[in-house]
Amino acid sequence: MYRVPNYTQTVSMKLSEVLADIGIDERIVMKRRRTWLLNESIININYQLRVENNLTHILGSQSEGTTTIGIDSDIDKLICYKTLPVTQDWSDWIPGENNLLMIQDNSVSPGYCLLQVLRDDAPLPLDEPLDDESDQYFFKDRTGKILFQKFYSILYK
């Protein structure tokens, strides 16, 4: 059975003191968390008002309240585009929709997946990009699968 060393409480107290000295105490952490939750709510209400079927989650050290002034920490946003059905199984394919199939294999880091583009007329993989303009959204992997790619990245300061 694992036992916690006797000095753990002392180290924890000293760490709390140091964090409080640089501006990270429980009050500030909770204030930052509430601020970013409010920001997230405003973004999602804005989507609803514009009748966009999206959802944003703000993650990371900013929203957790665990960053300090001067670190220049970025803001991590996860935007869910609900207009693109992502399926885990071929049987969940929806006719007439731009479906994406979730692929998790050894080539992908844990916690991540690849999104394979499927045809809208049959539950089959798309074998050619739709047009030249769609190349910014898709790429072909080494096995020939057409995959959805991250098409923009914005860092908020």
Q: Tell me the mean pLDDT per 10 residues along the chain, length 157.
A: 75 84 80 90 93 86 72 79 82 87 84 85 80 67 79 37
Q: Coil, helix or strand for 123?
A: coil
Global confidence as pTM: 0.55
- Tell me if 89 sits within 8 A of 78, measured CB to CB: no
Helices and strands (H, E) in the chain, number of each type: 3, 7
* C-alpha to C-alpha distance for 157 and 151, rounded to whole angstroms: 20
